[in-house]
Amino acid sequence: MTTYYEIPLSAEPQTFNITLAGTTYGFTVRWNVQNASWIIDIADSSGDAILSGIPMVTGADLLAQYGYLDFGFQLVAQTDNSPDTVPTYDTLGVTSHLYAIV
């Protein structure tokens, strides 16, 4: 059975812990000024980096290329009424959302 969870975000840089597929991860979401995009870093529960610098793009599982890490979930970004529009600084958590698919 597939379950969709929205990861609650706001239009500001943030760091938080979240439990997905039975494991607690540390997420850092930050704005990259140079390429005008949101970036995600994922750490283990001790704060040790697992992945860094994942661009929050739409239309694909953000973790697909890291299948060998066997997270047990997918991450998908999508914008209301325009699923292929990349989240902007102001729209994250408002009309642009990040979903975990378990």
Domain carrying residue 67? 4-101
Contacts of 24 (CB under 8 A, 6+ apart): 17, 18, 45
As for how many domains the chain has, the answer is 1
Whole-number pLDDT of residue 67 = 95
| Distances from the Cα of 55 to the Cα of 1, 3, 16, 31, 70, angstroms | 28, 23, 18, 10, 19
Summarised one tens digit per residue, pLDDT across range 69-90 is 999 999 999 999 988 899 999 9
Length of the chain: 102
Query: pLDDT band for position 41 (50/70/90)?
Result: very high
